[in-house]
């Protein structure tokens, strides 16, 4: 996959660089702060190779592209700078956002850059737990101490790192913001704790506290600093701002943080943490049902970011019950995917998608491909993922399971949950319950049982169940048929773009597979989209990564908006020249969108001629 090309396409389709205020990324998605989200071509983005889906939540325009997101982000940020020049959340973009959305946007924008570091550090702590339990390493050895430093550093120095990311998000100098956090951990400051209550600043009493791994104090301090920074820049001559603005900001903010914002933020964090603990104590089962059952959809809408500061705060004081209960939702999603993998025996492409996302979820804890590729696609599994997640969440809530290090919820992270055995039982129940419910109840509704295996006869014969409606897609190309799972591009092989079949062309021409309209024709001529008279959208993509040829060797004979009849010539291409240029000519034929929920059945022929039956769509 060409990450640079994909990044450039995404920037263009979200409205260009001039429409982007800021950009960060998390484990699977690019999170844009756009000036005007209406300028983004959402439908085109969702059809783009490599993009799973697009989500608008928490004031962000989120492009979900999977585990290779970091590579695309790196390519986008080369020779671009959306961070340091971006406006503060909800400020100059002209968008009207609620206070809650703005808060979530600031939280997500601040924590997203730190998630990889926190997750990696958490996994080191999990590994050390396993090594010490097995007796393979002593907790007092030098090796353990060095690795422990690697696992603890990001959490211990979180006020510094969070100060930097908050400064970026709030359009203040991020390094001055980081210094404010660092000042609360500097040895001269922390050494004052030995004096007990006899600490003051200009006669004003200072309540000394340990701010390592704290979240709320730095959030409050840096939010105030962003306002102070803007005020100082307004009243100080530009020639003096280089040293005078940061100097005065530090002289103002560090004492204020020590005197007021730090103790207040710590108190707020303790109060919220105590409130959550109290609520869980009142009914751990009910709390677990809510968090385990509905966390899947909180993530979809970005609401999970509201728990992140509380989670970090709880981990710093012994363990977090929220993420322990929410982890059940992750294993419920994995169970749904595994159930579909076992159930979808006839649909090879769906089986491949479900199997691969199950493995990714188990090993890495990344389940967004499951959520967007399976759960939201097959609405019948939504109650299944809720029920299964609620079961595991209730068990963890009832027995007070806690997460002791920030990790992604995967099988390797099990040692950081305590009590570990209860946690294993809880996630196993969620996984097994989801799998069994999918096997028993299925993952999609059908009108009349299973459709028959498709062959040439389906072109003229009616299905057995007369009230089943069908649409036939004829082959646009002559050549060898290849399952999508074998296509060398994850956008097609994982069925993220839709169901269908690929063809290795033996003749360099594409004809219309249906009666309909040409709804999209790429300028490079390598891909074309059509909509049938029945409302089905079809994408024909000639070759893999052939967009890089910039139209060379392709000759479209139609244009967007043209009405076509099945069999009409659409595109001519020079297959030999494309192969000689080093490109794979395998051509996916994808059903990207249908008017109704359908099953897509593929031809069982190894070779097809143009105008022969390729796919049958059954409602």
**Sign of the alpha-carbon dihedral angle for 234, 240, 243, 248:** negative
Active site residue 26: yes
Give CA–CA dist 371/296, Å, rounded. Answer: 8
Of 25, 26, 48, 304, which residue is the catalytic one? 26
- What value, to the nearest 5°, has the Cα angle with vertex 432 and ends 308 and 406? 20
DSSP H or E run through 331? helix 321-343
- What value, to the nearest 5°, has the Cα angle with vertex 159 and ends 157 and 164? 105
Name the token pair of 543: 């070759």
Residue 100 has, within 13 A of its CA and on its CB side, a CA count of 7
Residue 29: which residues within 8 A CB-CB, separation 6 or more? 55, 62, 63, 64, 65, 69, 368
Of 3, 398, 541, 553, which residue is the catalytic one? 541
- What value, to the nearest 5°, has the Cα angle with vertex 102 and ends 97 and 104? 130
DSSP-based three-state secondary structure for 394: helix
Name the token pair of 550: 């910039």
Beta strands across the sheet bearing 499-505:
563-564, 516-521, 527-532, 537-541, 587-593, 499-505, 479-482, 607-608
Give CA–CA dist 482/609, Å, rounded. Answer: 14
**Sign of the alpha-carbon dihedral angle for 283, 284, 289, 292:** positive
DSSP H or E run through 205? strand 204-205
Secondary-structure percent of the chain, ordered helix, strand, coil, rounded to 5:
55, 15, 30
How, if at all, do strands 537-541 and 479-482 pair?
unpaired
Query: 501: closest CA among 350, 289, 287, 295?
Result: 350
Give CA–CA dist 372/390, Å, rounded. Answer: 20
Burial class (CB in 10 A: 0-12, 13-18, 19+), 440: exposed
Task: Report H helices in 257-303.
Answer: 262-282, 284-300
- What value, to the nearest 5°, has the Cα angle with vertex 166 and ends 170 and 232? 50
185 close to 211: Cβ distance less than 8 angstroms = yes
β-strand partners of 531: 517, 537
DSSP H or E run through 159? helix 158-169
Q: What is the dihedral of CA 560, 561, 566, 567, to 10 degrees?
A: -40
Catalytically active residues, by annotation = 26, 541
């Amino acid at each position: 996959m060409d990450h640079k090309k994909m990044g450039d396409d995404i920037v263009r389709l979200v409205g260009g660089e001039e429409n982007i205020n800021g950009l960060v990324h998390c484990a699977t998605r690019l999170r844009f702060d756009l000036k005007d989200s209406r300028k983004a071509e959402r439908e085109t983005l969702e059809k783009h190779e490599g993009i799973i889906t697009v989500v608008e939540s928490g004031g962000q325009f989120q492009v979900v592209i999977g585990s290779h997101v970091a590579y695309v982000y790196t390519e986008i940020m080369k020779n671009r700078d959306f961070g340091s020049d971006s406006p503060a959340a909800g400020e100059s973009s002209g968008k009207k956002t609620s206070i809650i959305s703005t808060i979530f946007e600031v939280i997500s924008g601040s924590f997203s850059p730190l998630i990889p570091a926190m997750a990696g550090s958490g996994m080191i702590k999990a590994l050390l737990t396993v090594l010490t339990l097995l007796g393979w390493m002593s907790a007092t050895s030098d090796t353990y101490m060095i690795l422990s430093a690697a696992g603890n550093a990001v959490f211990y120095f979180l006020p510094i790192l969070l100060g930097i990311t908050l400064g970026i998000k709030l359009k203040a100098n991020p390094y001055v913001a980081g210094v404010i956090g660092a000042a609360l951990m500097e040895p001269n400051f922390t050494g004052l704790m030995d004096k007990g209550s006899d600490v003051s600043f200009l006669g004003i009493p200072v309540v000394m506290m340990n701010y390592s791994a704290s979240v709320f104090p730095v959030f409050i301090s840096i939010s105030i600093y962003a306002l102070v920074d803007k005020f100082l820049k307004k009243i100080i001559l530009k020639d003096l701002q280089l040293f005078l603005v940061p100097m005065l900001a530090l002289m103002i903010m560090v004492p204020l943080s020590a005197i007021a914002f730090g103790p207040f933020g710590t108190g707020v964090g303790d109060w919220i943490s105590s409130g959550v603990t109290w609520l869980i104590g009142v009914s751990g089962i009910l709390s677990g049902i809510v968090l385990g059952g509905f966390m899947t959809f909180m993530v979809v809408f970005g609401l999970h970011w509201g728990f992140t500061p509380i989670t970090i705060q709880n981990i710093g004081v012994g363990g977090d019950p929220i993420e322990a209960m929410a982890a059940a939702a992750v294993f419920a999603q994995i169970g749904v995917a595994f159930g579909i993998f076992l159930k979808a025996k006839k649909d090879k492409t769906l089986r491949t998608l479900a199997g691969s996302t199950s493995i990714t979820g188990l090993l890495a804890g990344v389940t967004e491909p499951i959520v967007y590729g399976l759960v939201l696609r097959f609405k019948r599994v939504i109650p299944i993922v809720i029920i299964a997640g609620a079961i595991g969440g209730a068990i963890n809530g009832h027995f007070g399971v806690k997460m002791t290090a920030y990790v992604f919820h995967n099988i390797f992270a099990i040692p950081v949950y305590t009590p570990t055995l209860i946690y294993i039982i809880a996630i196993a129940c969620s996984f097994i319950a989801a799998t069994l419910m999918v096997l028993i109840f299925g993952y999609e509704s059908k009108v009349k049982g299973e459709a028959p295996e498709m062959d040439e006869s389906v072109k003229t014969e009616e299905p057995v169940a007369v009230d089943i409606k069908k649409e036939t897609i004829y082959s646009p190309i002559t050549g060898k048929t290849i399952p999508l799972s074998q296509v060398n591009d994850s956008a097609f092989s994982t069925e993220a773009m839709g169901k269908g079949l690929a063809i290795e062309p033996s003749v360099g021409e594409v004809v219309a597979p249906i009666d309909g309209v040409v709804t999209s024709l790429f300028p490079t001529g390598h891909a074309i989209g059509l909509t049938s008279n029945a409302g089905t959208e079809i994408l024909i993509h000639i070759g893999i990564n052939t967009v890089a040829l910039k139209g060379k060797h392709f000759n479209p004979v139609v244009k967007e908006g043209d009405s076509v009849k099945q069999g009409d010539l659409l595109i001519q291409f020079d297959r030999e020249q494309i192969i000689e240029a080093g490109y794979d000519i395998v051509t996916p034929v994808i059903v990207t969108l249908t008017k109704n929920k359908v099953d897509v059945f593929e031809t069982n022929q190894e070779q097809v001629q143009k105008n022969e039956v390729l796919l049958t769509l059954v409602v």
